[in-house]
Amino acid sequence: MPKALVAYFSRTGHTKKMAERIAASLRAHDLETDLRAVGTVAVSDLLHYEAIILGSPTYYGTMSWEVKKLLDDSVKYHGRLRGRVGGAFTSSGNRAGGNETTVLDILKALMIHGMVIQGDHQGDHYGPAAVGAADARALKSCDRYGERLAALTLKLFPGLKN
């Protein structure tokens, strides 16, 4: 069975709440999912997942260094994540405070790994973004993201299905 990792950094809990919501949605849509704080993820762990979804608060318009560190360390496995599903989400303090650039910065790194990224024609186009604590709209975006990425992962890795 394919597996997903939702890894997040969160200082005040907003991004963590989104991570929990996305993980719950992935599970509800039949994808076995681990939810972990990014600091507990060893870079070699990434090899065990068919979908890797990273969340960070928006810090100066981009991801926190903890998330960037995992990505920089992942160069050790450059090429080994090719074809797997990637995703990103964020919480920022302000509505136009750099949340989209944060999501895109994470997605860029995942694309450099050769991972498969799915945009959305509705709602949050690049990945879920909340302002502060996720409101009803942002929670819905997390639910929808989990549903869509679970479907994509199960489609791309049917051989691993039970």
Ligand X SMILES: Cc1cc2nc3c(=O)[nH]c(=O)nc-3n(C[C@H](O)[C@H](O)[C@H](O)COP(=O)(O)O)c2cc1C
Contact residues for ligand X, defined by CB under 6 A:
10-16, 57-61, 91-94, 97-98, 132
Look at strands 116-117 and 85-92 and give their pairing.
parallel
Quote the least distance from Cβ 10 to ligand X, whole Å. 3
Instruction: Tell me how far CA of residue 95 lies from CA of 18, 40, 64, 103, 117, in angstroms.
Output: 16, 30, 18, 14, 24
Which residues, including other chains, have CB under 8 Å from residue 27's CB and lie 6 or more apart?
A: 33, 146
- Which residue is nearest to ligand X, using beta carbons? 97
**Between 57 and 87, whose beta carbon lies closer to ligand X?**
57
Would you call 48 exposed, middle or buried from its count of C-beta atoms within 10 A (0-12, 13-18, 19+)? exposed
**Between 25 and 62, whose beta carbon lies closer to ligand X?**
62
51/116 Cα distance (integer angstroms): 9
Quote the least distance from Cβ 5 to ligand X, whole Å. 18
**Between 12 and 44, whose beta carbon lies closer to ligand X?**
12
Instruction: Tell me how far CA of residue 54 lies from CA of 7, 90, 159, in angstroms.
Output: 5, 9, 25
**Between 4 and 131, whose beta carbon lies closer to ligand X?**
131
Quote the least distance from Cβ 95 to ligand X, whole Å. 8
Quote the least distance from Cβ 58 to ligand X, whole Å. 4
**Between 2 and 57, whose beta carbon lies closer to ligand X?**
57
Quote the least distance from Cβ 123 to ligand X, whole Å. 19
Encoding tokens for residue 67? 């998330």
